[in-house]
Amino acid sequence: MSTVRKATHSGSWYTNLGSELSRQLDRWLGAAELSHGPARAIIAPHAGYTYCGACGAFAYRQVSPAVVKRIFILGPSHHVRLRGCALSTAKVYKTPLYDLTIDTQINAELEKTGHFSWMDMKTDEDEHSIEMHLPYIAKVMEDFKDQFTIVPILVGSLNPDQEALYGDLLANYFTDPQNLFVISSDFCHWGHRFNYTYYDRSCGQIHSSIEKLDKDGMGIIETLNPGAFTEYLRKYNNTICGRHPIGVMLNSVKALQNQGYSNMSFKFLKYAQSSQCKDMNDSSVSYASGSLVFEA
């Protein structure tokens, strides 16, 4: 059985390969400001780089690569029904820049909890929500390429109690400044092809309504209140595809707050839309990048 996950979305979701991809990522990172770091966790998009590459840079710019030794990547499952969370059976993830090593020791620790299953290689390679972060991780960490590992976690359709469970299980990993959490999520998927056409006409144009909807949700995430985020989703059904990974992160923060940690701050740094919807037949996907820090 192969233990190497191929870069299956390379050449389609991100079309510039090798040195050209590296230069493209450098340009985006160079245009982003370091303003809310060093990040302990980031929320960043996972669409094609043509649409969200520049936005994602604002999250990755907050990472302190000299500190980070392990990167957890929580991505939503797009293709398989999953009621919990699943780990990767791979030992290596290939990227166009260099290979990334899976932390098998952490996988073993998580498996022992009894709450994690394993995704087969087809599921792993079909899923883009994790892979789209790999080139950015490789770029940001390239000066320390042999000094860190990754922990990919596929997150299924969790209910609030499950989000709290996984948040509790991962909370202690958040406390280690050598750990970084990458929370993979796009924001509103708007249009008939997504079966979602919420429109508050008081906002004016459709794209302005979408932006207000997203930014209301982003503001709630910044309060680090998982219950409020759940209520927001119930009220608006906003099609935030990484809502469950976000929910897990928020519940980890809540668990730490219950342990006495009070110095955590989340801030969104960039927002973008794939296109500006002006007609009910239009469609778009929104993207947002933000960073969680533990303040001194």
Residue type, 211: E
Mean pLDDT of 56-62: 98
Start-to-end CA span in the chain (Å): 46
Residue 20 burial by Cβ neighbours in a 10 Å radius (0-12, 13-18, 19+): exposed
Residue 16 has pLDDT above 80, yes or no: no
The residue assigned the tokens 């119930």 is 234
Angstrom distances, CA of residue 262 to CA of 96, 250, 257: 40, 14, 6
Nearest residue to 41 (alpha-carbon basis) of 202, 204, 224: 224
Q: What is the pLDDT of residues 107-153, one digit of tens each?
A: 999 999 999 999 988 887 887 799 999 999 999 999 999 999 999 99
pLDDT value, residue 229: 98
3-state secondary structure of 52: helix
Strand partners, 291: 42, 267
Put simply, whether the predicted model's pTM sits higher than 0.75 gets the answer yes
Mean pLDDT of the chain: 94
| Residue % of the chain over a pLDDT of 90 | 85
| Residue % of the chain over a pLDDT of 70 | 99
Mean pLDDT of 185-202: 96
Say which residues have a Cβ less than 8 Å from residue 35's Cβ, sequence separation at least 6: 62, 267, 269
Mean pLDDT of 274-289: 96
Give the range among 14-23, 57-66, 284-293 with minimum mean pLDDT: 14-23
Angstrom distances, CA of residue 159 to CA of 20, 25, 34, 185, 265: 41, 36, 35, 17, 25
Whole-number Å distance between alpha carbons of 119 and 265: 33
Residue 91 has pLDDT above 80, yes or no: yes
- Structure token digits, residue 140: 């940001």
Q: What is the pLDDT of residues 210-269, one digit of tens each?
A: 999 999 999 999 999 999 999 999 999 999 999 999 999 999 999 999 999 889 999 999
Parallel/antiparallel/unpaired status of strands 189-190 and 284-294? antiparallel
Residue 8 has pLDDT above 90, yes or no: no
Residue 296 has pLDDT above 70, yes or no: no
Whole-number Å distance between alpha carbons of 15 and 20: 9
Nearest residue to 124 (alpha-carbon basis) of 109, 143, 107: 107
Select the CATH number that applies to the domain covering 4-294 from these four: 3.40.830.10, 2.60.40.10, 3.50.30.40, 3.30.450.40.
Answer: 3.40.830.10
